[in-house]
Structure 1
Amino acid sequence: MLTRDRRETVRLFRNRLTEAMKAADMNKSALARVSGIDRSTLSQLLSTDNERLPRAETVASMAKSLQVSLDWLLGLSNEARLGAAILKDSIEISLTSDVPTDECLAVWHKEAVGYKIRYVPAGLPDLVKTQAVLQFEFQSFASKSPIQAITASEDKLEYSRLPDADMEICTSFQMLETFARGEGIWDGLDREVRLEQLDRIATVMDELYPKLRLFLYNGLTHHAAPYTVFGPKRAAIYMGQMYFVFNTREHIRTLIDHFDGLVKAATIQANEIPAFIEKLKRQI
């Protein structure tokens, strides 16, 4: 028969496991996959009828996958973060003069395989841009050449085609309207290039849906600076030639909530993108 203390330990473990999964934006299938444990075992551990703690190696594997400390998961500590994360500053600055920004992004994407990536672009989403648009945008850019931009775009698109890729993109529908009209930074971009780019967006989104999803919100009611959240690993806010990179659970959770709010407020859903693109093309 379980003692009261034992039951409390099991209850606390279950609650903290549930909390950590929510913070990491992971469901049971995802956690079971990255932790290497059986999904039925995980379901049993989360059941209120469960009265047993898992084996030590199982707890350790889940703690590592969820980026929380083993002691916290077992109720032995009130500090959820890993020791290395506590000692590390909660914010880093990634400058293009130190390590090429695209190399940092490639590493961050690789580390986030299996987690959902949330992406608010500064303009059009990089991974769907045509070479002609990238040539136009980066012909005079201070810290990146057109060739570098094209390579980075292809790398992002290749990542989105991975079996475990899961990416949501959110921007305003006014951004696409501005591009379609050839206004703002796209002033002077040929009509045919703009039409080709719109076709490219529709094609890629249709090909990779539902693991790649684009949502469009109204820029008159909502606003977002460009940023990317790499699952529970980190969040990076783009400042122009540099990224502010957040590593703490609290910062990452705040940006996840902000992004999810944009998705909730979206006036054009992911499955409506092709129709919206066709509407834009008719207006050019």
Structure 2
Amino acid sequence: MDKRDRATIFRDRVRQAMQTAGLTRSALARAGGVNRSTISQLLDEGAARLPNANLAAECATALGVSADWLLGLTDRPERPGDIVAASMEMARAARAVSDDQLLAWHREASGYKIRHVPATLPDMLKTREVLRWEYAPFLGKTPDQAIGAMEDRIAWMRSGGSDYEIALPLHELEALARGEGYYAGLDADVRRRQLDWLARQADELYPSLRLFLFDAHRIFSAPVTVFGPLIGVIYIGSFYLAFRESSRIRALSEHFDLLIRSAAIDARDIAAHVKELAERV
């Protein structure tokens, strides 16, 4: 780019940023450690001057923008750190189905397809007994609040707010049926009723709810949720990692596509499979 063209871009963008930030030429000069006349020479019409690297950086810092943007090297005014912060966030995960952050993401993505790999069973498909068994030991939200949130989500699904695709590893339901691993100590009658409930919901809510089972020996997935094209969330345990940058959301969607293509049990066959598991309990 010709120096005069770059100087014009610099002058226009500094003026724009000064107006946004409410900074005068004198204030910008003080922030840059130069006198006011230096700033005036850079900003006066017809001037073809460019600042040195140090002054460009100081001006960018004072104005809350990137030096690259001031110099016309990028069309994004955010500083690199701000871009990263905007594209990814860490949010604390409450140990409850009525987690306010999760519900906020669900509301934001209303009308979009929501694709979900849960950490255990999908919260929205758990019975009252299982929710009470799971959440009773934790402080904060009570089991009754968790149950109410689950029932609200089911009602929302029935109303057609969002379509859901849920992918579960085969061993999750096998462990539930046998009362092993995470479900050790859960009464057999409770487990049987949970499987019966899951089978009924999978049947009644199809196709707005599509549940797939994948073989974790062939393909692995961490708990992840893709809220349409808006947000991709990975669940760590105490925190969520939430991504809003389109390429990262697309990568998580492609991962979910792979889970669906590799499914051992298709959504159309899930109810019969779960009923068979319930009969074994």
Shorter-chain TM range is 0.5 to 0.7
Given the alignment, which residue of 245, 248, 251 partners 1:248?
Answer: 245
1:113 is paired with a residue whose SS is: coil
Measure how far apart 1:155 and its partner are. Answer: 2.9
| Shift in Å, 1:206 | 0.9
Asked if residue 230 in structure 1 is aligned to residue 198 in structure 2, the reply is: no
Structure 2 counterpart SS, 1:219: coil
Find 2:258's aligned residue among 243, 256, 261: 261
Across the aligned residues of Structure 1 and Structure 2, the Cα RMSD in angstroms comes to 2.5
Partner amino acid for 1:217?
Answer: F
1:92 touches 1:245 (CA, 8 Å); kept in 2? yes
- Secondary structure, in 3 states, of the residue corresponding to 1:267? strand
Specify the alignment match of 1:161 in structure 2. Answer: 158
Q: Partner residue of 1:9?
A: none
| TM superposition shift of 1:139 | 2.2
Aligned to 2:116: 119
The 2-side partners of 1:266 and 1:222 are apart by 9
CA distance in 2, matches of 1:87, 1:121: 26
Q: Is the 8 A contact 2:90 2:242 kept in 1?
A: yes
**Structure 1 residues 112 and 238, CA gap change in structure 2 (3 angstroms):** same
- One-letter amino acid of the counterpart of residue 170, structure 1: A
Per-residue CA distance 1:22-48 (angstroms, 9 max, x = gap): xxxxxxxxxxxxxxxxxxxxxxxxxxx
1:152 alignment partner in structure 2: 149
TM-score, normalised with respect to structure 1? 0.66
Alignment coverage as a number of residue pairs: 204
Q: 1:91 aligns with which of 85, 88, 91?
A: 88
- Whether the 8 Å CA contact 1:121–1:227 is kept in 2: the answer is yes
Q: CA deviation at 1:119?
A: 0.4
Q: Does structure 2 conserve the Cα–Cα contact (< 8 Å) formed by 1:106 and 1:155?
A: no
User: Counterpart amino acid of 1:113?
Assistant: S
- Matching residue of 1:68: none
User: Does the CA contact (< 8 Å) of 1:137 and 1:185 recur in 2?
Assistant: no
Alpha-carbon distance change, 278 to 234 in structure 1, aligned in 2, over 3 angstroms: same
Corresponding position of 1:63 = none
After TM superposition, the structure 1 = structure 2 runs for residues 35-114 of structure 1, keeping only pairs within 5 Å, are: 86=83, 88-96=85-93, 102-114=99-111
Larger Rg: 2
Q: Which amino acid letter does the alignment assign opposite residue 212 of structure 1?
A: L
Contact 2:231 2:242 in 1 (8 A): yes
Map Cα deviations across residues 243-274 of structure 1 (whole Å, 9 max, x no partner): 11111001100100000100000010001011
The answer as to whether partners of 1:95 and 1:101 remain within 8 angstroms in 2 is no
Give me the whole-angstrom Cα distance separating, in 2, the residues matched to 1:162 and 1:237. 27
The structural deviation recorded for 1:162 is 2.4
1:128 aligns with 2:92: no
Find the counterpart in structure 2 of residue 239 from structure 1: 236
Partner residue, 1:277: 274
Contact in 1 for aligned 2:175/2:182 (Cα 8 Å): no
Choose from 175, 197, 201 the match for 1:200: 197
Task: Answer yes or no: is the 8 Å Cα contact 1:170–1:215 preserved in 2.
Answer: yes
Could you say which residue in structure 2 is the equivalent of 1:138?
Answer: 135
Q: Using a 3 Å threshold, how does the CA distance of structure 1 residues 89 and 131 change in structure 2: closer, same or farther?
A: same
Whether contact under 8 Å (2:112, 2:228) holds in the other structure is: yes
Q: What is the Cα deviation at residue 151 of structure 1?
A: 2.9
1:112–1:230 Cα contact (<8 Å) kept: yes
Unaligned runs of 5+ in 2: 1-73
- Shift of residue 180, structure 1, vs aligned partner: 0.8
Distance in 2 of aligned mates of 1:235 and 1:201: 26
Match for residue 182 of structure 1?
A: 179
Structure 1, unpaired ranges of 5+ = 1-77
Change (3 A) 1:82 1:215: farther
